[in-house]
Structure 1
Amino acid sequence: MSLLFSKLLLVSILALSKAKFDPIAFSVSQYAVLSVTNETVLPYPHTITNHMHRNEISNGVFTSREGGTFKCQVYSLAGSNKKIFLEIWHNDHRVASLYAHSPSYGSGGNAVVLSLSEGDTVQVKTRINYPEVVYDLPNEIYNTFTCVQIGSEAISTDETAIPAFSVTSNRNQNVNGGDSIMYNTELVDINNAFNLDTGVFNAPTSGIYIFHFFSLAHQNEELWQDLFHNDHYVCSIKCVTDFEWTGAGNTVILHLNANDTMTVKAHAGVDNYLFGKQDQIFTTFSGVQVITDLDMLSPESYPVVAFSVALTHNVTVAAGSTVPFDKVFVNYKNSYNISTRRFVAPASGVYEFNYHGRTSTGSSIYLRLMHNQRYINSIYDNIPGHHATAGNAAVLEVVGGDEVRIESTGITNKLYGDRNEIYCTFSGYLLHAITPGEIIVG
Structure 2
Amino acid sequence: MFILQHLPIVCLVLSGQICVVSSLCSSKLENSLFDDLIGMMLKLKGSGHGGQGNTSTQKDTPAFTAYRNSIQSLSSNAVVKFDKLWTNTMNAYDVSTGVFTAPLPGLYHFSAVVMSEDGKTLFLHLWHNDTKTAGSYTQGDGYKTGTFDVVLTLKKGDRIYIRCKGGHDSQNIFSNGDNYGTFSGYLLVK
Runs of 4+ in 1 over 4 A off after TM superposition: none
Alignment of 1:231 with 2:130, yes or no, is yes
CA distance in 1, matches of 2:120, 2:173: 9
Measure how far apart 1:184 and its partner are. Answer: 1.7
Residue in structure 2 matching 1:267, options 159, 165, 178: 165
SS of 1:236 mapped into structure 2: strand
CA distance in 1, matches of 2:124, 2:180: 14
- Report the 3-state secondary structure (helix = DSSP H, G, I; strand = E; otherwise coil) of the residue aligned with 1:270: coil
1:256 counterpart = 2:151: no
Offset, 1:291: 0.9
What's the % identity of the aligned pairs? Answer: 23
Task: Structure 1: give runs of 5+ residues left out of the alignment.
Answer: 1-18, 20-47, 53-152, 293-442
* 1:10-409 matches, cutoff 5 A: 155-241=54-140, 243-271=141-169, 272-278=171-177, 280-292=178-190
8 Å Cα contact 1:223/1:247 also seen in 2: no
CA contact under 8 A between 2:126 and 2:148: conserved in structure 1?
no
Spell out, residue by residue over 1:291-322, the C-alpha distance to the aligned partner (whole angstroms, 9 max, x if none).
11xxxxxxxxxxxxxxxxxxxxxxxxxxxxxx
Partner deviation per Cα, 1:338-368 (whole Å, 9 max, x = no partner): xxxxxxxxxxxxxxxxxxxxxxxxxxxxxxx
State the one-letter code of the partner of 2:130: D
Q: What CA deviation, in whole Å up to 9, does each residue of 1:233-267 have, x standing for no partner?
A: 111111111x3111110201000000110010011
Shift of 1:176: 0.8
Instruction: Work out the CA distance in 2 between the residues paired with 1:201 and 1:188.
Output: 12
Rg larger for: 2
1:333 alignment counterpart: none
Letter in 1 for 2:152: L
- TM-score normalised by length of structure 2: 0.70
* Structure-2 change in CA distance of 1:154 and 1:198 (3 Å): farther
| Structure 1 vs Structure 2 CA RMSD | 2.3
Q: Tell me how far 1:223 sits from its aligned partner.
A: 1.0
RCO higher in 1 or 2 (8 Å CA, sep ≥ 6)?
A: 2
Partners of 2:58 and 2:89 within 8 A in 1: no
Distance 2:163 2:53 in 1: 34
Q: What 5-or-longer segments of structure 2 have no aligned partner?
A: 1-14, 16-31, 38-51
Q: What is the letter of the counterpart of residue 83 of structure 2? A: N
How far 1:156 sits from its partner (Å)?
Answer: 4.5
**1:276 aligned counterpart, secondary structure:** coil
Residue 220 of structure 1 and its aligned partner are, at CA, apart by: 1.2
Alpha-carbon contact 1:209-1:287 (below 8 Å) kept: yes
TM-score relative to the length of structure 1: 0.31
Question: Which whole-Å deviations, capped at 9, do the CAs of 1:57-100 have from their partners, x for residues lacking one?
Answer: xxxxxxxxxxxxxxxxxxxxxxxxxxxxxxxxxxxxxxxxxxxx
* AA aligned opposite 2:156: A
